């Protein structure tokens, strides 16, 4: 992967394909309702997300090789815990989200899939964070925090990173592109239709994000992670400099 130079991005080597269809289907089954006529929204959402978005392949690649426990901030339905399990990465996983209904469904799906290493908690990460030492994932969440809250959060998570642990962020970037515009509009719509309780606030810019992480002594890589989606999603991986 390549670093960002003066806002000028060069395509990196983050995985750009979604997980295979079979894995997507297997994971999605954990989100089927108990009753045949129950609500299947999460099942179809999981199928569509896993089948179309390269997010999880990119994140699995970024975490591979580290056995540090993982804190997943804004974990939603906890799809990453399932993806790690299917990828043979048995990391201790702690997902937090401020949407209590999603956390309840995440717990149910993890229990159904038999993921004893996964636990979930309702927490507003703009207000407090759990104690943690290890890796941290922040996937498609930063935009729901104000610029100040993003700064405070990132300073906290940098302090959580142990040697060999990774900070893995996927985020839209504020770069004035058409992709950026599509991302903003879609995030706003997701809130308006009720899928996302939070309203998008601020998208970080690459130079500021890199400056903050590298200023804290981390080595960073930035790479596009939108695959064939129309969004402006980038994968940022940071870890302590081991040299």
The residues of the shown chain that bind ligand SAM, judged by CB under 6 A, are 55, 74-76, 79, 97-99, 102, 124-126, 139-141, 144, 196-198
Question: Least distance (Å) from ligand SAM to the CB of residue 243?
Answer: 31
CA distance 65 to 68: 9
Residue with Cβ nearer ligand SAM (119 or 240) = 119
3-state SS, residue 19: coil
Q: For residue 116, which phi and psi values (nearest 5 degrees)?
A: -65, -20
Question: Least distance (Å) from ligand SAM to the CB of residue 209?
Answer: 17
Question: Least distance (Å) from ligand SAM to the CB of residue 81?
Answer: 10
Contacts 24+ apart (CB under 8 A), 81-85: 81/106, 81/110, 81/115, 81/117, 81/118, 82/27, 82/30, 82/109, 82/110, 82/113, 82/115, 83/19, 83/23, 83/27, 83/50, 83/56, 83/59, 84/60, 85/113, 85/115, 85/118
Residue with Cβ nearer ligand SAM (55 or 206) = 55
Question: Least distance (Å) from ligand SAM to the CB of residue 178?
Answer: 20
Residue with Cβ nearer ligand SAM (3 or 51) = 51
CA distance 167 to 210: 12
3-class DSSP string for 154-184: HHHHHHHCCCCCCEEEEEECCCCCHHHHHHH
Question: Least distance (Å) from ligand SAM to the CB of residue 5?
Answer: 27
């Amino acid at each position: 992967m390549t670093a960002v130079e003066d806002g000028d991005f060069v395509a990196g080597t983050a995985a750009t394909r979604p997980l295979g269809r079979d894995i997507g289907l297997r994971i999605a089954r954990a989100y089927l309702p108990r009753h045949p006529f129950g609500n299947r929204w999460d099942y179809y959402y999981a199928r569509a997300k896993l089948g179309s978005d390269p997010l999880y392949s990119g994140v699995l690649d970024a975490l591979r090789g580290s056995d540090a426990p993982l804190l997943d901030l804004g974990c939603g339905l906890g799809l990453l815990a399932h993806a790690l399990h299917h990828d043979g990465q048995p990391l201790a996983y702690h997902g937090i989200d401020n949407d209590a209904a999603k956390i309840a469904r995440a717990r149910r799906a993890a229990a159904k899939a038999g993921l004893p290493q996964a636990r979930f908690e309702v927490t507003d990460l703009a207000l407090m964070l759990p104690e943690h030492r290890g890796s941290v994932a922040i996937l498609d969440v930063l935009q729901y925090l104000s610029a100040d809250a993003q700064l405070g959060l990132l300073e906290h998570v940098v302090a959580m990173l142990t040697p060999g642990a990774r900070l893995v962020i996927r985020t839209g970037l504020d770069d004035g592109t058409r992709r950026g515009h599509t991302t903003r509009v879609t995030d706003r719509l997701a809130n308006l239709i009720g899928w996302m309780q939070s309203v998008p606030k601020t998208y970080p810019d690459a130079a500021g994000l890199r400056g903050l992480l590298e200023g804290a002594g981390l080595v960073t890589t930035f790479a596009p992670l939108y695959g064939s989606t129309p969004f402006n999603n980038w994968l940022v991986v940071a870890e302590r400099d081991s040299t």
